[in-house]
Chain A
Amino acid sequence: MSTLLESTVIESTQPGGTPRGPRRPRGGIRGGESASGWLFTAPTILLLGLFLLVPILMALWVSVSDWSGNGSPFSAGVHFVGAQNFGSVLSGGGLTEENFGISLKNNLWYVILVVPAQTVVALFLAVMVNRQILKGRGFFRTAFYFPSVTSSVAITVLWLFLFSQSGAINNVLSWLGVNGPNWFQEPSGIVQDALAGLGIRQGPSALTGGGFLGVSWWDWIGGPSVAMTALIFMAIFTTSGTFMLLFIAALQNLSGEVQEAAMVDGASGWQRFRFITLPQLRPTLFTVLTLGLIGGWQIFDQIYTGTQGGPAKTTTVPAYLSYTSAFHDQNWGQGAAIGFILFVIIIVFTILQRFALRDRAVSKRRMRLYTIETGGRR
Chain B
Amino acid sequence: MFKFITGSINRKLVLLVMGVTLIPLAMTTFLGIWMAQNALEKQLAAGLDGLRINKAKAITDHLQQAVNDASVAAGQIRVAKLLTELNFDQTQTDASLKGISSSGEHSGFIIYSEEKNAPVYTLGINKDDVVKTFPKSKLEEFCMKVVKEGKTKFLDYIEYAPVNGPAMFVGAPIFSNGKTVGVFLLLVNIAQIDEIMLDSTGLGKTGESVIIGDDGFMRTSCKKRKLENLPSIMKIKVSDAMREDAFKSETGHTDFMLNSHDAEALVSKSKMDLKKVTSDLNWAIIVEVENHEIEAPVYAIIKNIIIASLVLGLIACLLGFLVARSVSKPLISLTSKVVKLANGDLTVEIENVKRDDEIGVLIESFNRMLFSLREQTTKIQEGTSELATAIVEISAAVSELAANSTETATAITEISTTMEEVKQTTHVAADKAAHVSETANRVSSISEDGNKATRDAINGMSNIKEEMMALAENIVKLSGQTQSIGEIILTVNDLAEQSNLLAVNAAIEAAKAGEFGKGFTVVAQEIKSLAEQSKASTRQVSGILNEIQQATSSAVMATERGSKAVEAGVHLSESAGEAISTLAESISESADATAQISASGKQQIIGIDQLAVALDSIRTATDQSLKGVQQLEYASVSMKELAAKLKSLTEQFKTN
Do they bind each other? no
Binding site for B on A (CB under 8 A): none
